[in-house]
Structure 1
Amino acid sequence: MPHAISPEPTTEPSDAVLPDAPASDAPSDPADMSGDDTAAPVLGAAESDKENRLEDMFDTDSDDDEFSSSAAKAEPSTTKPAQSGKFSDPGIMKAFYQRLFPYRQLFQWLNHSPVPTIDFKHREFAFTLSNDAYIRYESFASADLLRKQCIELLPSRFEIGPVYSTNPRERKTLRKKSAFRPLAKELVFDIDMTDYDEIRTCCTGAQICPKCWSFITMAVKVVDVALRDDFGFKHILWVYSGRRGAHAWVCDRRAREMDDQKRRSVAGYLELLKGGDGRGKKVNIKRPLHPHLQRSLKILRAHFQTDILAEQNPWEEDEKAAHLLDLLPDKALTAALRKKWDSAPHRASTSKWADIDALAATGVADKLDATQLKEAKQDILLEYTYPRLDAEVSKKLNHLLKSPFCVHPGTGRVCVPIDVAKVEDFDPFEVPTVTQLLDQIDEWDKEHVKAEEGEAENDEAGGAGKEQEKEKKLQDWEKTNLRPYVEYFRSFVNELLKDEKTAKREREEGGDPMEF
């Protein structure tokens, strides 16, 4: 089914009106990648023509009908090309960026105010183009200008970086390079399923299934409660990566203003597993257990029984079972277990886990007391369930991370927020793809066209009251399965803005002694 890709921006009565930036706010040189070794390949020569056209996109006389209702069509819409099987097809991406991406909510999230501030205007954006070229140090004075850039470039994704001391586009005009420095950015965390390859048995690499997605569920639950209970953070946005993982954005002002040392400390607090991909012991913790680990064990114990032992069955094969034996501290016990398992090939992991206690109870492990065995089993449970974070993502203020609501080019799924209160119910396979969303808009429009024609006839007879009702049109994302995710995001942003306003008032009235 063809998808309309004419400009279909929308208005939102509940959101503030965002003024456009001056037309002279032209993009900076996208080829400049200096000063950050986290960047992807620089914009290539093949994109030089597109780069030259960037200056034109800020023409204030543009006929692009910014943020008007999608229901009112002055001209027939054009349609995208036939489905090519590639989700980053230019026609598909143009329709997505014109009709579905929630720019206003994203603006308010990063701006921390309904009216533009340097929190947004000095924020770095980086764009990955369809040919894998990479444009850095882009910045925008408004949501409208960000929208125009996305429609012009049709990036396969874009990333969000820190707020800088000056507009990133103007960094080359500074006399001293040290004057251009990152000031603030959300504290972020990245959980990627590939880090679980050595312990998951169902999939590898980029593949995921409902069985191994439980690793992400476990990680979200453990990290979220630690950030809230142990650090006092409140505004934590979890976002599905679009394929095999999840990102956390800690948006509290105190988190945003952390320097690299504090970020490393928080990341180190949550980091537990050490030792790479070898067969050695990866959990070596002191006793008595830290309260964070005690709480984590309580969260993870039920998951270990169901998601690990029953679903993953990690020790069914002899090689994997040998690793389990390496984690037990008593040689006599491991010898007895090996003998038992050799006599019963492919014994289920649930049974092998029970065998440890059963054989220990016979006295075969005369040098291993009950406390030592309990601690060894706790360490094993944590190795197979505790979050495996990409800690480097969290440690640097200037690290870039993919924006929420981007489209994953491989799966076509939108990077939607995850309601942490319902994380157990989140199913990555139910997340809509961009083509499904565009089909849903077409279907909705087709179903309502006759109703709108009938309303038009009634308007002629009903006068001004009917005309006022006609103005209340749905935005395109409200016609699709993206709606609950955007509404959740909007609710999250509203709570953040409410606290930002309160904190600002307290600072103006004399400061908050608890701020640091």
Structure 2
Amino acid sequence: MHHNSPTQNQKNSSMFITSEFTTARNLFPYNDIHKWLSYGHDGKHPGCDEYYFGRREFSFTLENDVYLRYKSFKSASALEHAIKSCFPYKIDIGAVYSVDPDKRHAYSQTGTNVFTPVERELVFDIDITDYDDVRYCCSGADVCSKCWPLMTVAIKVIHTSLKEDFGFKHILWVFSGRRGVHCWVCDPKARRMTNEQRSAVAEYFRVYKGNENNARKVALMGYSLHPFLARSYVDFLKGFFEGELQANQSIFSTKDKYDKILEMISYEDIQSELREKWEKSANRSSLSEEAISLVRWEQLKNTLQSKKHKAPTLRMCVEEIVFTFTYPRIDLEVSKQMNHLLKAPFCVHPKTGPSRRVCVPIDPNNCDEFDPLAVPTLSQLIEEINSGGSKMGVDDDDDDTDSSLLGKSIKFFRSSFLGPLLKSCKVDPSFI
């Protein structure tokens, strides 16, 4: 359908796109992204592959959901030119392929299957929507200060394991821009994993195995926890469950909430005993919802403890409840396949509107301090540029960036992730 003259909405959209283009031109750190994804293949070291970056897949999502896959660029300037020309709403990063993704059709005509992914960061995707059955403040894409700590705990559990159990050092955590977090593991042994190896790592983290039709969504095998799970339980999950989660969600405070928990207990007589006790006290308590929830949690634990000798299957019930509510719910399929795409850091969430937030890095060592609601929005960045408040050149390492909205995020990316990564590339030839 064609219109002779633009509508007001189209005019507003055009103005917004022009402003967003200015933001992309000024703030996206092209050189930093190029340095990261080149991994030292800059031609200055023996054995460098000058075509390495050019074999990396990028995908662009354009206006009206036009989706362009298998784009590739020889340099940071070529990437910058393409972004300024195409003006994508979203930028995704894929694998490094055996040949230039842009020329894959030419190679396919030879009759040989030479176009295949050969390297890709080990990635993880955790979305708050997968916790909808254990959060009562929000649902769907909504997120607030009461449920975001679920993401914080997920970062702590996975980051600690990646470092201590697998020995990875170069790990980048990024806010997805709306409702979750992404993790990029960039060590050489992670980037060169086969799909089978990636699946094995993903399965290592699999604990949450249920669906909405299962009362018990977590199955902890045996009568003791795997060392990784035991460490996660003691260091992160138990304290969070009995502290922040109870304070924010009060998961035992009402019948519809505690009934879901009682169903996780495999003995109906214990369920009935606790349910009857809680129903009788429901209208007599002057305690707050949080206090009621904590009292009932202690009653449940004490009851299960007293029955363990009669019912061996109850030995891990407390832990199963805690894991059900707090353990990271990873989209495992994202981690298993080398050719999976993941949104680039420093782009914005693709949902339309000026309130889109930037995908900024998260410091895993201080993730308790991260507030997703305080992340700069696109409209704020546009306003900053239009007011002349942003003096930074994002590809100038010497600029004082702290005063700009994205300054601290870019500075953290450079100093805590990119700098150590590039140093490893220089001192260890096997790294590249």
Q: What TM-score comes out, normalization by structure 1 length?
A: 0.73
Aligned to 1:257: 192
In the alignment, is residue 503 of structure 1 matched against residue 431 of structure 2? no
Identity %: 39
Counterpart residue type for residue 242 of structure 1? G
Counterpart residue type for residue 260 of structure 2? H
Instruction: Select the residue among 285, 299, 318 that pairs with 1:355.
Output: 299
Shift of 1:83: 12
Shift of 1:473: 11
CA contact (8 A) 2:136 2:249 kept: yes
Aligned to 1:458: none
CA contact (8 A) 1:118 1:163 kept: no
Q: 1:358 to 1:262 in 2, by over 3 A?
A: closer
Q: 1:260 to 1:356 in 2, by over 3 A?
A: same
CA contact (8 A) 1:111 1:118 kept: no
Deviations 1:95-120 (A, max 9, x none): 12210000010000000127263331
Q: How many residues align?
A: 402
Aligned to 2:249: 312
Shift of 1:322: 1.6
Q: What TM-score comes out, normalization by structure 2 length?
A: 0.86
Q: 1:444 to 1:233 in 2, by over 3 A?
A: same
Which segment is superposed worse, 302-311 or 130-139?
302-311
Shift of 1:84: 8.3
Aligned to 1:78: none
Q: 1:177 to 1:201 in 2, by over 3 A?
A: farther
- Cα distance in 2, alignment partners of residues 301 and 170 from structure 1: 52
Aligned to 1:284: 219
Aligned to 1:294: 230
CA contact (8 A) 2:177 2:348 kept: yes
CA contact (8 A) 1:239 1:404 kept: yes
How do 1:103-502 and structure 2 match up within 5 A?
103-113=30-40, 115=42, 117-174=50-107, 175-286=110-221, 287-298=223-234, 299-345=236-282, 348-359=292-303, 365=307, 368=310, 373=314, 375-410=316-351, 411-444=355-388, 480-491=404-415, 492-502=417-427
Shift of 1:445: 5.1
Deviations 1:152-202 (A, max 9, x none): 111111100000001111111111351111000100000001100011110
CA contact (8 A) 1:125 1:160 kept: yes
Aligned to 2:47: none
Shift of 1:501: 2.1
Q: CA RMSD in A?
A: 2.8
Q: 1:445 to 1:93 in 2, by over 3 A?
A: closer
Counterpart residue type for residue 400 of structure 1? L
Moved over 4 A (4+): 81-88, 358-361, 371-374, 472-479
Q: 1:234 to 1:320 in 2, by over 3 A?
A: same
CA contact (8 A) 1:218 1:385 kept: yes
CA contact (8 A) 1:97 1:147 kept: no
Counterpart residue type for residue 190 of structure 1? D
Q: 1:259 to 1:149 in 2, by over 3 A?
A: same
SS in 2 for 1:172: helix
Deviations 1:459-500 (A, max 9, x none): xxxxxxxxxxxxx99869665120111111112112111112
Shift of 1:434: 2.1
- Cα distance in 2, alignment partners of residues 294 and 473 from structure 1: 43
